[in-house]
A and B are shown apart, each in its own frame.
Chain A
Amino acid sequence: MAEDMLIIKDLKKYFPTEKKDLYVRAVDSINLTIKKGEVVGLVGESGSGKSTTAYMVMGSYAPTSGKIIFNGQDISIPAKKRPLTIKKNIQIVFQDPGTSLNPQRTVGQILGLPLRVHHIVPNKDMNDRIIKLLDMVGLSEDYMYKYPRTLGGGERQLVAIARALATDPSLLVLDEPTSALDVSVQAKIINTLMNLQKQLGMSYLFITHDMSLMRNIADRIAIMYLGKIVEIAAATDFFQRPLHPYTQMLLSSIPVVLKAEQELKPKRIRSQGEIPSPVNIPSGCRFHTRCPQAGEYCMKEEPSMVEVFNQHFVSCHLYKK
């Protein structure tokens, strides 16, 4: 069994609001581990806290409480205070390549920055290294002098991936890296990412709202709803028997193209209601306001994570030991 690379323990992030005792409970006590070389999908709708989790792992925000442990080292501190070796080992690819590349810098300059900051190669080998990075993501060396605005969305994202790879990280956080792209381009980006993952043995924390995509690439999938993880399982197991009513609602809402997919979807559960505000989180199970199977008990007590099948955890009162 591979060792745990990243351990997230009881992680919380509360943002203060204008009112004194009221907080936006963006992430409300989650636990998650990522093993070496593993691809973990963190799936949820907007407002579920998946991006906040990613930003805490990267260090953009400091957690309110809880711990993030990376290779045995506590990194639940803001990025500014993190040692360079940690920054080198955790890199990110943002959602929109249009805003994650500085429009005033050439691709060569963008890729050169991490190399220079971490002294990856001596200055005289800089160009060769940049060309090698471009080659890794399937771009020719002509791209060096181009500005991001002259590139297509897919090419920009490849540059962003190359930048993340420049420091040879062991964990890559991918924040919806393809949701701003077209499907025909998405395929290329995903294939590049997955090939690199296998080649370099990186771990991925893949933040997304796209369940079908996760089906294809993730080893394990965690579903987040309103700041909490409600279900975690291995990808294969997950789609065979989705347990949580929210997971089932999500799956049945996905528009699909194949008949076979249609049959795989849980029997139609009409999606109802909207995700409540993370400031006023419902009592008990936070999904009870939208849950077709909610009982009175669900409003009172918050369910805890139980292992229903081997390594398949769910937090729902329907599945009691």
Chain B
Amino acid sequence: MISIKTKKTNKKWAAKLDGLCRSWYKFSRNKLSVFGLIIVLTVIFIALFADKIAPFPEHAGAFVDLGNAGRPPGEGYLFGTDQYGRDILSRIFFSFRGAIIMGIGVLAVAVPVGVFLGLIAGYFQGSLIEPLIMRTVDIFLALPPLVLALAVSAVLRPTLFNSMMAVSFAWWAWYTRLSYGMASSIRNEFYIQSAELIGASRLHILLREILPNCLGPIFTKMTLDMGWVILIGASLSFVGMGEQPPKPALGTMVADGAKYIPHMWWLAVFPALAIMIIVLGFNLLGDGIRDMLSTEEV
């Protein structure tokens, strides 16, 4: 009895493994995607273990060492130090934490809400709920997310959590529109008709039949959006509405450092480069995930 069961599970896993290998093949055909994946994994690794690998973990907080202030990049301080003598590299490492939390937090709120509303609107076409959801979406899409987030952040106290809420508030509508479009084409597929004719419940059709077929583009967009959300988070902190000092945030670092350009250029340039690399990494990764999840046969 047990042996039969293990045999079955083995087959199940073998099928999964083959699927994984195939996915990796599709993903890795484009070397840039692999490059993007490496960047993203490195950033996440640094964020997770910032206190272990940063040369001066204590510099991430309110730390002043005026003796070492304004050192140019060089030995000891790879990226130099800021006006208070704090190591820029260490502060960048720690600011990755906020950036990643920001991205994940926003998507964790915006994606489920947006996708669920989109599936409902797409599947129940012709009912009253569809225009209700989609016109609301239109309104939200008409407002630039940065402006909307600025407005919300200005009303609430400026903290990382509040800026996350603010960006999510502006972001869900994109997912609603994406999943709405997909659901409204998938609902006409014969396998949905077949499930309806069998008599499956609406919840089953939405979550088990339609949703899995929408996941590809949703994951792709999520990865691309990680970069964008981090960029917006940085913009918010640039104008002082994100993570508050003395905690390091990439946007704040660029904003503060900009005052010392050009003679202490490293204060602004390295955090700015860090932002660029994160956004680039997620974009390249997103392209790879799109290739990977495409239905094209290889």
User: Contact: A117 with B199, CB < 8 Å?
Assistant: yes
Partner of B191, one of A59, A84, A101, A150: A101
Chain A, residue nearest B19 (CB) = A147
Would you give the shortest CB distance from B12 to chain A, in whole angstroms? Answer: 5
Chain A, residue nearest B13 (CB) = A145
User: Contact: A100 with B194, CB < 8 Å?
Assistant: yes
A79 at the B interface (CB under 8 A)? yes
User: Contact: B190 with A103, CB < 8 Å?
Assistant: no
A114 at the B interface (CB under 8 A)? yes
User: Contact: B194 with A92, CB < 8 Å?
Assistant: yes
Q: How far is the CA of A87 from the CA of B204 in the complex (A)?
A: 17
User: Contact: B191 with A117, CB < 8 Å?
Assistant: no
User: Contact: B190 with A100, CB < 8 Å?
Assistant: yes
**Chain B residue contacts of A113, Cβ below 8 A:** 195, 198, 200, 204
Would you give the shortest CB distance from B131 to chain A, in whole angstroms? Answer: 20
Q: How far is the CA of A84 from the CA of B199 in the complex (A)?
A: 7
Interface residues of B in 177-228 (CB under 8 A from A): 189-191, 193-201, 204, 208-209, 212-213, 215
**Chain A residue contacts of B12, Cβ below 8 A:** 145
User: Contact: B209 with A91, CB < 8 Å?
Assistant: no
A104 at the B interface (CB under 8 A)? yes
User: Contact: A105 with B198, CB < 8 Å?
Assistant: no
Interface residues of A in 102-118 (CB under 8 A from B): 102-105, 113-114, 117-118
Q: How far is the CA of A142 from the CA of B194 in the complex (A)?
A: 24
User: Contact: B197 with A96, CB < 8 Å?
Assistant: no
Give the interface residue-count category, chain B: 20 to 34
User: Contact: B197 with A92, CB < 8 Å?
Assistant: yes
Would you give the shortest CB distance from B286 to chain A, in whole angstroms? Answer: 21
Q: How far is the CA of A91 from the CA of B15 in the complex (A)?
A: 30
**Chain B residue contacts of A101, Cβ below 8 A:** 191
User: Contact: B200 with A103, CB < 8 Å?
Assistant: no
A158 at the B interface (CB under 8 A)? no
Q: How far is the CA of A91 from the CA of B12 in the complex (A)?
A: 29
User: Contact: B190 with A104, CB < 8 Å?
Assistant: no
A60 at the B interface (CB under 8 A)? yes
User: Contact: B15 with A147, CB < 8 Å?
Assistant: yes
A209 at the B interface (CB under 8 A)? no
**Chain B residue contacts of A103, Cβ below 8 A:** 213, 295
Interface residues of A in 241-257 (CB under 8 A from B): none
Contacts A104-B212, A142-B11, A145-B12 known; A59 to B190 CB distance under 8 Å? no
**Chain B residue contacts of A149, Cβ below 8 A:** 295
**Chain B residue contacts of A60, Cβ below 8 A:** 193, 197
A225 at the B interface (CB under 8 A)? no
The B interface, classified by DSSP as helix, strand, loop or mixed, is helix
**Chain B residue contacts of A104, Cβ below 8 A:** 212-213, 215
User: Contact: A59 with B197, CB < 8 Å?
Assistant: yes
Q: How far is the CA of A201 from the CA of B8 in the complex (A)?
A: 34
Q: How far is the CA of A88 from the CA of B204 in the complex (A)?
A: 18
Q: Looking at B198, B209, B295, which has the most chain A CB atoms within 10 Å of its CB?
A: B198
Q: How far is the CA of A289 from the CA of B240 in the complex (A)?
A: 78
User: Contact: A145 with B11, CB < 8 Å?
Assistant: yes
Q: How far is the CA of A321 from the CA of B208 in the complex (A)?
A: 58
User: Contact: A167 with B295, CB < 8 Å?
Assistant: no
User: Contact: A102 with B191, CB < 8 Å?
Assistant: yes
**Chain A residue contacts of B213, Cβ below 8 A:** 102-104
**Chain B residue contacts of A118, Cβ below 8 A:** 198-199
Q: Looking at A59, A99, A101, A145, which has the most chain B CB atoms within 10 Å of its CB?
A: A145
User: Contact: A100 with B191, CB < 8 Å?
Assistant: yes
**Chain A residue contacts of B204, Cβ below 8 A:** 113
A146 at the B interface (CB under 8 A)? yes
User: Contact: B194 with A145, CB < 8 Å?
Assistant: no
Interface string of B157-183 (1 = CB under 8 A from A): 000000000000000000000000000
A314 at the B interface (CB under 8 A)? no
A288 at the B interface (CB under 8 A)? no
User: Contact: B198 with A117, CB < 8 Å?
Assistant: yes
A287 at the B interface (CB under 8 A)? no
Partner of A99, one of B15, B191, B212, B215: B191
**Chain B residue contacts of A84, Cβ below 8 A:** 199
Contacts A117-B199, A145-B15 known; A105 to B194 CB distance under 8 Å? no
Binding site for A on B (CB under 8 A): 8, 11-12, 15, 19, 189-191, 193-201, 204, 208-209, 212-213, 215, 295
Beyond contacts A96-B190, A118-B198: 4 other A-B pairs, Cβ-Cβ < 8 A, are A102-B195, A104-B213, A105-B208, A150-B15
CB<8 Å pairs between A and B, sample of 22: A60-B193, A79-B197, A87-B197, A92-B194, A94-B190, A96-B190, A99-B189, A99-B190, A99-B191, A100-B190, A100-B191, A103-B213, A104-B215, A113-B195, A113-B198, A117-B201, A118-B198, A118-B199, A142-B11, A147-B15, A150-B15, A163-B198
